[in-house]
Structures are given as structure tokens and as C-alpha cells.
A and B are shown apart, each in its own frame.
Chain A
């Protein structure tokens, strides 16, 4: 297996993967767990992976969505109480986004992260999540409708869209 390639991938992409994990979970520790779990699943197949970034992200999304299903019976999300030093830039904005994202369903949240954070097209988002393009559009529309009126984002979105 291409261990050097795997090691280099983890080192060069870890920040992006952790940010994606944070947007999905709202918690850096859970984000780390999410990425590590996804990497554990990916590593045995690494030599056959063609597009590593998309492959790991897909594993993260699968893990995240399965956590949401399985952990509903064993664990409940809690408000973020950081246990680690955090980037102090834009703390209010970070908290506002974290709170606003909790209003979305897991599937909506995954679609929002892929479409607007990772800048994937509707078709690519659908492929990564394994759902129809129409479902992606519907989830995106529902999510945007919730975010547009989310109290936490008041003042962060322009009047043009929030009004």
C-alpha cells in the first residue's frame, strides 16, 4: 500500500478535512474523531483510491450520517464547550454558524457543506452522497430557507437576502 502517499495526504489535507468535520459536527473533538474514523476506513483501500480527497470526504459523510443514525440511541449532541484552544478570529461568527447549522437535518447539513463549503456542483454532491440530484436541490432549498431566517445569522446575512 502507498503509505507515503497516505501520510502526505493526511498531512496536506488535514486542515480542510477538520474544517469539513467541524461544519458537520460543530465540535473540533468530534471533527477529529470523524476524520480519524473515515481515514481508518479508507486506509486499507488506499492503493486503489483514484481521487483521495473526494473518497475521504465521502467516507466522512457516510460516517457522519451513520453516527447520526446510530448515536441517536447512544449519544446526544451537546452545545459546544471547547476543550481545546480555538482560533479567536470571528468567534461570534463561528458560534452563529454553529448554532444555525444545528437547525438543519443531517442530510441538509451534508448537502450545505458539499454545495457551499466544498463548492461541488449539484451533480457531484448527488454522486458523493449517493442520492438523486432532485433530492440535493430539495435539501439545499430547505436548508437555505432555514438558514435565511435563522436568528443566529441575524446581522450576518445582507438585508437583501434576510429581509
Chain B
């Protein structure tokens, strides 16, 4: 080894530091750990219970259930993220905090790929009173989630990328608990939302849309950005990270944004600035067919850049 090799090696070993993430084997294995540990001992009981539940469901609904199909193994980043969200939903449903004696009812899990979210619902029947059951759940908050709402019939826990809601309904001497779980994943930023490296200029236009001018706007700035400015502008847009469509966004309020359009070769993209519920700026880049929401890290610089 040369001195240079030694020094590069030392730098590479120090630079990453402690990873801020941990890996969950269950994201790969796809099932909660405890259930797997119990599986050998309880296999027969689980099979019997599953058959009993299936028969009960068939009787209750008077129809056929879908046959289980093997899930294709994820191979892309987007699929891996979706699989992790689905595993999280399965985990949250399996470990919902409920008093002993709870009997599982129907369970559904489905994915909304456009909203980057997996939904899961599981119905339980629990012996006891409404007050006792909801008090038990309130006293056992899910790890990593914060209680956002607590009513007599609903408890709602949430964090940045998932949520769990418990709805309670009295059923004689028992309580029906509906557990609703959501887990989001971060989309992959599409290629079209980047300014291409071979672009030599971008046409940037800022339109101001008045509060009551629905559908109408005024061009307040238009310039053709070339050379170093174009590179700088492209860097700013390309550095923005994609956000989930609903990550803190309020429904769009017409008339409260400036619209920046830039043309990059034959394509035309629209960068629209707006505000989130928390008052933070966000950027929307809209292509021909869809919009992506980008992190606001560089928004101020972007607007300064194109407003000069």
C-alpha cells in the first residue's frame, strides 16, 4: 500500500460515520418476527384457526374469497419501498394493541400506487365495554407514533410516514374495533422532472396569479437563461428531492402562487411555488401528464435565480 492508498482508506473508513438508519430483516422476510418465532409451536393451531376464520367469513358474506397469490419479488427501488410499506402495514395490523380475548375478523390490505400509500384494515371483536377497551388502547400507544386525536369512539396515532386509527363500536357485551393502518413510501423522482444536461438554455417565465383571477395570470418576469446561469438553474432544480404528493400539502388554493415555466429543448416543464399547511414553500414540477412535488430546500435560491 502506498501512502496515498493508506490515506484514502482512512478517509473512507471515517467518512460515513454512524448510519442513521437500521435495517429490518422483516422488510425482506415480510412477516413479523414474533409470529415467526411462535410458528413452529402454533402451526397446527394457526391452520385450524385460519380455516375457521375462512369458513366464518364465507358464511358471513355468503361468497367466495380470493385465492392467495404469490407476491412477485420486488426488483426496483420503487418496488422495494412499496414492499417495505406493505410489510409495515402487515406488522402494524398484526401487533395492534388490543386486550386479551380479541378475535380477528376480516382483514384487507391494498395499495394506492398513485398516492404512494398502502392501506390496511382489520376488524376485531373484543370482550368488554367501550370505555375499558378504548382506555386499554390509549394506554398502549404504538411505538414511534404520536397520538393526534383521542375521542370516545376513535383514537388516531401518526408519524411522518404511517398512521394507525382505532374505531370502537359497542356490540352487546363486546366491542367491535376497526384498526385502520396507512404506510407511505417515497416515490422515485422521474427522469422527465430533471433539466437535461445537454440543454443549452431554459426559458423561464414567472406568472403571478391573482387571488380572484381564477384561470388568468400576468407575466411578471421572462428571461432566457443560458451559460453558467442555465447550469446553475439546472443544478437547483435537479437537486430538489421528490416529496410524496400529500407530504404536508394543503389542497391547492387558487390564486396564491407564482408560476415559473421553463423550457428545456423541446420539453416544457412548469415549476409552481406554493405553500404547505405548515407555511413552508414547496415546488411542483408539472410535466405533460403528471406533477411531482419537490423538497423546498433550494426554493428561495431558485426564485432569486429566475427573478434577477
Chain A residues in the interface with B (C-beta under 8 A) = 3, 6-7, 10-11, 14-15, 17-19, 22-23, 28-33, 35-37, 39-40, 43-44, 67, 73-76, 78-79, 81-87, 89-90, 93-94, 96-98, 112-113, 115-117, 119, 144, 147-148, 153, 156-158, 160-161
In angstroms, how far is the closest chain A Cβ from the Cβ of B206?
A: 24
B14 in complex: contacting residue of A17, A35, A93, A119, CB < 8 Å: A93
B173 within 8 A of A: no
**Contact A116 B21, beta carbon cutoff 8 Å:** no
**Contact A93 B23, beta carbon cutoff 8 Å:** no
**Contact B9 A117, beta carbon cutoff 8 Å:** yes
Interchain residue pairs A-B with the least CB separation, the first 6: A87-B17, A97-B15, A116-B9, A14-B23, A18-B19, A19-B16
**Contact B29 A161, beta carbon cutoff 8 Å:** no
Known: A23-B16, A87-B17. A75 touches B191 (CB 8 A): yes
In angstroms, how far is the closest chain B Cβ from the Cβ of A113?
A: 7
Give the interface SS of chain A, mostly helix, strand, loop or mixed.
Answer: helix
Chain B residues in the interface with A (C-beta under 8 A) = 2-5, 7-9, 11-25, 27-29, 33, 36, 73-75, 77, 80-81, 83-84, 186, 188-191, 194, 235, 238-241, 295, 297
In angstroms, how far is the closest chain B Cβ from the Cβ of A148?
A: 6
- Which residues does chain B contribute within 8 Å of A74, judged by CB atoms? 188, 190-191
**Contact A98 B15, beta carbon cutoff 8 Å:** yes
- Which residues does chain A contribute within 8 Å of B12, judged by CB atoms? 23, 97, 112-113, 116-117
Known: A3-B29, A43-B29, A116-B9. A157 touches B4 (CB 8 A): yes
Complex-state Cα separation, A67 to B23, whole angstroms: 20
**Contact A37 B80, beta carbon cutoff 8 Å:** yes
**Contact A79 B239, beta carbon cutoff 8 Å:** yes
- Which residues does chain A contribute within 8 Å of B238, judged by CB atoms? 76, 78
Known: A23-B16, A81-B297. A144 touches B4 (CB 8 A): yes
In angstroms, how far is the closest chain B Cβ from the Cβ of A95?
A: 9
Known: A14-B23, A43-B28. A116 touches B80 (CB 8 A): no
Which has the most chain B C-beta neighbours within 10 Å: A28, A84, A117? Answer: A117
**Contact B8 A33, beta carbon cutoff 8 Å:** no
**Contact B18 A39, beta carbon cutoff 8 Å:** no
Complex-state Cα separation, A7 to B27, whole angstroms: 11
Known: A14-B23, A28-B19, A90-B14. A75 touches B189 (CB 8 A): yes
**Contact A33 B29, beta carbon cutoff 8 Å:** no
**Contact B188 A40, beta carbon cutoff 8 Å:** no
Taking A7-B29, A97-B12 as known contacts, 20 extra A-B pairs with beta carbons closer than 8 A to each other, sorted by chain A number, are A3-B29, A6-B28, A7-B33, A14-B22, A23-B12, A23-B15, A23-B16, A28-B19, A28-B21, A32-B21, A33-B77, A37-B75, A40-B80, A82-B20, A84-B20, A87-B19, A116-B9, A119-B9, A153-B11, A161-B7
Which of chain B's residues has its CB closest to A119's CB?
A: B9
**Contact A6 B29, beta carbon cutoff 8 Å:** yes
Complex-state Cα separation, A93 to B235, whole angstroms: 23
In angstroms, how far is the closest chain A Cβ from the Cβ of B188?
A: 6
- Which residues does chain B contribute within 8 Å of A22, judged by CB atoms? 16, 19
In angstroms, how far is the closest chain B Cβ from the Cβ of A36?
A: 5
